[in-house]
Structure 1
Amino acid sequence: MATIQKEILTRASVDQVWDAVRDIGALHTRLVPGFVLDTRLEPGTRIVTFFNGVTVRERIVTLDEERKRLVWAAEGSFLKHHNGSAQVLARGALTCVIWTADFLPDDAAAAIGPLMEAGAEAMKTALDKLAGKS
């Protein structure tokens, strides 16, 4: 199984970042605008439409308030398996989001890697905007 992990650092507070991550229906407005164009909620699931037109069903596996960790499983993509997670941690004076994707087949990394890079850039931009808000 292939794994790709991105670490996004921001000056926004842990609480501000977690509030954006845990808002599972607002990917397109709060966490990764431009990378995600639309998010719709159904019981236990979010339907995510990405900038490239791909729509994926993501089953919410865990929303752990104590660990500030969200886990989801994607369905309906070209992957045989996809498990994603985002965890929010303090890193000194900064906040870090650790975004991990585990997936099959392994050779999908060539497509998933650049997509996650674009998503990480969109996330950093959105989270850095939160740093100026109280």
Structure 2
Amino acid sequence: MNQTSPNPTAATGDDRSHSLILANRVIGTAVYSKGGEKIGHVDDLSVERVSGQVIYAVMSFGGFLGIGEKFHPLPWSLLDYDPDQGGYVVPLDRAQLEAAPNYDRYELVQLGGPSHLNYGEQIFGYYGPYGSVPYW
């Protein structure tokens, strides 16, 4: 059934009162430290294939024009959306995030592969003190 809505926000999906959001609207959303400093943006999402659960928000740090760029998979459970800032807030500061497990683009595609538990143990081991628990 195709319905036409007179409300333009319904057509674009820009109604911020909804609890669901399309992934392509999450990618590019700013990420802020607990102190309010903008520290990056969501570069990608990592979704568990069977359950459909978002496991990581992948944030990139550093680099210039893709050279030297490192990717930081943040457990999704650590991100809280703040409508006033129009972005996600994490309970860490820039230095804590820069010290977190990070990967180059090639390594990033290995997440979820045969060696994922090694990556997952590193990631959730680092973020455990901030309240993140492994999804497995």
Q: TM-score, normalised by structure 2?
A: 0.29
**Greater strand share, structure number:** 1
Q: TM-score, normalised by structure 1?
A: 0.30
The one of the two structures with greater contact order (alpha-carbon pairs below 8 A, sep at least 6) is 1
Return the index of the structure with the highest Cα Rg: 2
